[in-house]
Amino acid sequence: MTKLSVNINKIATLRNARGGNIPDLLKDATDIQSYGGQGITIHPRPDERHIRYQDARDLKTVVTTEFNIEGNPIPEFVDLVLDIKPDQVTLVPDAVDAITSNAGWDTSEHASFLTEVVGEFKRNGIRTSIFMEPVPLLIEKAAKTGTDRIELYTESYAVEYAKGNKGEARKYAEAARTAAESGLGVNAGHDLNLDNLNFFVSQVPGVLEVSIGHALISEALYFGLENVIGMYLQKLVQ
C-alpha cells in the first residue's frame, strides 16, 4: 500500500504570515500522524519563508512515523540533514528564489554532484530520493548515483488530468517500470490531490509514497470550514 506523507510547509506559511506560533507546527504534525498520516514532509528553503531550519530540528522530536526533508543540497541544507538524520532526504533542484519546485534533476548533467551528495547521506544512514521528471533515460542515470528512490514530479499528469486527458498517466507508468528495473523505489508528489490521486496510484505501479501538501491543506480548509464556522456561531449564542 502507498504511504501518505503530509507536507506541512503551508501550515508554516500561515504561521509566519502573522508571527507568533498559531498554527502550532509541532501540534499539527503530531495531530496529522494521529489522524493516520504515515509521514511528515518539510521543504526548508534558504529564506525560511515557511519552514525554518529550527522547525526541522524541533520536528525531529515529534515525528514518530517517517520524516522526509526535501530541498536543494546546498551546504547549509546538507549540514541540516546530517545533523537531524531524517528517515529520508529528497533532493530537489530548486533555484533560491523559486516559489515552488518546478523541475526535476537532469541526472546526466549533474551525475557527479548527485553521486557525491547521495553517497554522503547514505554513509550517514539516510534513505535518499531524487526529484525527477518521468524520463526513462534520466531515471536510469539516477540509479547510477546510488540513490535509493526517485520522486516523480507529477505536474504534467495533474495538468492533463484536469483537462480530462488521463493518458498522461502512461508516461508515469513507464517511468515507474524503468525505476523498478533499475532497482529504484518510486515516490511521487507535488500536484496530486483528492481528484487525481486514486487514478494515479491505480495506473502507476509500485508507488511507495506520495508527498502531498498544498492541495491537502487547501482541501482541509474546504472540508473543515463549515464545521468551524458552526462552532463560532455557537459561541455567539447568548
Catalytic position from the list 133, 168, 190, 209: 190
> What would the grid cell of residue 111 be?
551525475
Which is catalytic among the residues 43, 66, 168, 209?
43
Q: What are phi and psi of 6, to 5 degrees?
A: -95, 120
Tell me what pLDDT residue 96 has. Answer: 55
pLDDT in tens, 131-190: 999 999 999 999 999 999 999 999 999 999 999 999 999 999 999 999 999 999 999 998
70 a catalytic residue? yes
Q: Position 190: which residue type?
A: H
151 is a catalytic site residue: no
Q: Average pLDDT of 81-91?
A: 98
Whole-number Å distance between alpha carbons of 41 and 18: 22
The domains of the chain, with CATH numbers, are 3-235 (3.20.20.70)
Decide if pLDDT at 100 tops 80.
Answer: no
214 part of the active site: no
Q: Could you tell me the pLDDT band of residue 99, with boundaries at 50, 70 and 90?
A: very low
d(CA 154, CA 231): 37
pLDDT for 4 equals 95
Gap between the Cα atoms of 47 and 205, Å rounded: 37
Cite the DSSP H helix spans in the chain. Answer: 9-18, 25-34, 53-59, 75-84, 111-123, 136-143, 155-162, 169-181, 197-203, 214-235
Catalytic-role residue among 66, 70, 133, 209: 70
Q: How far apart are alpha carbons 66 and 33 in whole angstroms?
A: 10
Q: Which carries the bigger pLDDT value, residue 47 or residue 73?
A: 73
